[in-house]
Amino acid sequence: MKFVLIALIFLRGSPLVAKELEARMLYTRGGKVWVHALGEDRAVSLGPGDFARWSPDGTKIAVSRGTQILVMNADGSERRILADNALRKDGSNLDFMGNGKEILYLGPGRRFHIVHLESKEIRTLDLPGTFTGEPVLSADGRWLAARDKHDLYLYDLHKGTRSKYAEGCSPGVSPDGSRMMNNMGDHQRLAIHSRSPKSTQQLRMPSGQDDSHWDNHHWSNHPDYLAAQGEKGPVGAYLVRISDNYVLRMDRSQRIQYPDLYIDQVPSGSKTEINEVPKSLQNSETLTVRVRLVERTDPGDPEDLKDYQHALAADLVETLEDAPGLPRGSKVLIIHWVIRDRKRLSPLAYKDKGNLLELRDFESLPEMQSKRLLQDLGELDTPRFWLKRIDTQQAPGPQP
C-alpha cells in the first residue's frame, strides 16, 4: 500500500482547545476567503477574494479581489467595496492600519494608499521608494515592513524613513514593532531580527511536517505566533509559535494561500502543548473485538523515515464479530506505533484466523492526533481506533 504523510490535528469536541489556545486562521483558496477556528472540523467560506487580512481586533476582514479593496465582518457579512485601484505584484497587497479604521494597500505608481472604512477617502503614503507588496504594520501603526522585489524594508511612518533589513520574502514586523522577519533563501528557515539589541533567531520548518518547506509567513496579533503557508507538499496552513519553534497544521485544507492568524486567547502561566490529552480522557473506555487484516500500511523505505522521532501506521481490518457500534463485517483503521523514539518497531503479527484486539476511540486521544500517521488517503472516512492491546507477543509500543 502506498502511504501518504498526513497530520491529524482535528481536536473534535475537545474542551482543551478553548482552554489552552483560541485562534482563527484566515486564508484564501480557489479564489475564495476561508476561516478556520482551531479545534473545528473544517474551514468556512466567506466569499470571493485573492488576499485577506484580520483587523486589529479580529472583528473585520480586509479583502483584495482583482483591483478591488473590500471590507466585511469576521463572519463574511456586510461586505463592502472601498476602492477599485489596487495593484498586485509580489504576494499579498494589503493590511489593516493599527487604528482598525483604515486599510493600507498597493495602488497606482507602486505606492501604498490608505482608504478609510467609513468615508472611503483615499490618501497616498509619502514614503521613499516604491513597493511590490507584502505590507505588514505594527499594532500602533508606526512601523511598516514591505518588499520591493527581493529587498525587504522597515519604514518608520512617523519619520517617513526606511532601512533595508534583509533580502528574500515574507517581510514582517511584530505587533510591538521590535522585531522583523524574513523567509530565508532555502524556504525552510525563517529569520527573526530584533532591532535593539540587534540579534537574529532562526526558526525552521520541522522535519516530519506534511510540507517540507514554507512561505508567505504573516505575524499574528500576538507577538509569539505566526501564520505560515506550507510548500513542497499539500500546501497547508500552519500555526507557528516563535518561542519554541512549535509548528501545528491547522486543518486538512490543501493549496491554501497567504494565511493570517488571529489569536483570541492564549494559555495563562506556563506553556503546555496545544494538543495535550485532557485528564478526563486518559481513562476512556476500551472496546474488545476480533478482527482480520484486510490491508497493512507499508511504512516504506527506512531511509525516508530516518528523521522521524515518532510515527504511526493505520492498518485496515474487518471485524469478525459484533461489537458495540460495530456490526460484524465493519471496516475500521487500527492505528499503532511504527517508530517510537527514533526506533523502528517490528510489524504487528496479525493471524490468519484473526486477532482479538483491545481498542480505544482515536478521536478521544487528541494528544495522538498531531503525530505523523502513515495512512492511505482513500480511507480517511473509515472509523479509526488506537490499538491498546493485541493477542500476540508483539507489543504495539508504549501506550498513551
Are 257 and 288 in the same domain?
A: no
Domain contains 115: yes
Question: Last residue of some domain: 221, 237, 265?
Answer: 265
Are 346 and 206 in the same domain?
A: no
DSSP 8-state secondary structure symbol assigned to residue 110: G
Is the CB of residue 124 less than 8 Å from the CB of residue 107?
yes
DSSP-assigned states of every residue in 199-256: EEEEEE--TTSSSSEEEEEEE-SSTTEEEEEEESSS--EEEEETTTTEEEE--S--S-
Q: What are phi and psi of 303, to 5 degrees?
A: -65, -35
Number of domains in the chain: 2
Q: Which residues in 2-36 are b (16+ Cβ under 10 Å) and which e?
A: ebebbbbbbbeebebbeebbbbbbbbbbeebbbbb
User: Grid cell 460495530 — which residue?
Assistant: 326
Are 58 and 158 in the same domain?
A: yes
β-sheet with 122-124: strand ranges across: 94-96, 102-107, 111-116, 122-124
Domain contains 379: yes
Q: What are phi and psi of 98, to 5 degrees?
A: -60, -25
Is the CB of residue 103 less than 8 Å from the CB of residue 62?
yes
Are 66 and 215 in the same domain?
A: yes
pLDDT on residue 387: 83
Question: Last residue of some domain: 265, 300, 335?
Answer: 265
Domain contains 366: yes
Are 161 and 70 in the same domain?
A: yes
Question: Last residue of some domain: 222, 243, 265?
Answer: 265
Query: Using one digit for the tens of pLDDT, what is the confidence trace for 344-360?
Result: 787 888 888 888 988 88
| CATH code, domain with 40 | 2.120.10.30
Domain contains 154: yes
Residue type, 63: V
Are 160 and 307 in the same domain?
A: no
Domain contains 5: no
Domain contains 7: no
pLDDT on residue 308: 67
The CA dihedral of 257, 258, 264, 265, to the nearest 10 degrees, is 90
User: Grid cell 495535550 — which residue?
Assistant: 276
Are 351 and 207 in the same domain?
A: no
Cβ–Cβ contacts within 10 Å for residue 331, how many?
15
pLDDT on residue 173: 95
pLDDT on residue 369: 54
Domain contains 225: yes
Low-confidence ranges of the chain (pLDDT < 70): 1-20, 267-285, 299-309, 363-381, 392-400
Measured distance CA(137)–CA(149) in Å, rounded: 18
Are 63 and 158 in the same domain?
A: yes
3-state secondary structure of 304: helix
Are 241 and 307 in the same domain?
A: no
Its domain, for residue 360, covers 279-390
pLDDT on residue 9: 31
Residue of 98, 181, 195 whose CA lies nearest to 147: 181
**pTM, to two decimals:** 0.65
Domain contains 271: no
Are 257 and 314 in the same domain?
A: no
pLDDT on residue 335: 84
Are 48 and 164 in the same domain?
A: yes
Measured distance CA(25)–CA(43) in Å, rounded: 9
Is the CB of residue 223 less than 8 Å from the CB of residue 183?
no
Are 98 and 226 in the same domain?
A: yes
Query: Using one digit for the tens of pLDDT, what is the confidence trace for 42-99?
Result: 899 999 999 999 999 999 999 999 999 999 999 999 999 999 999 999 899 999 999 9
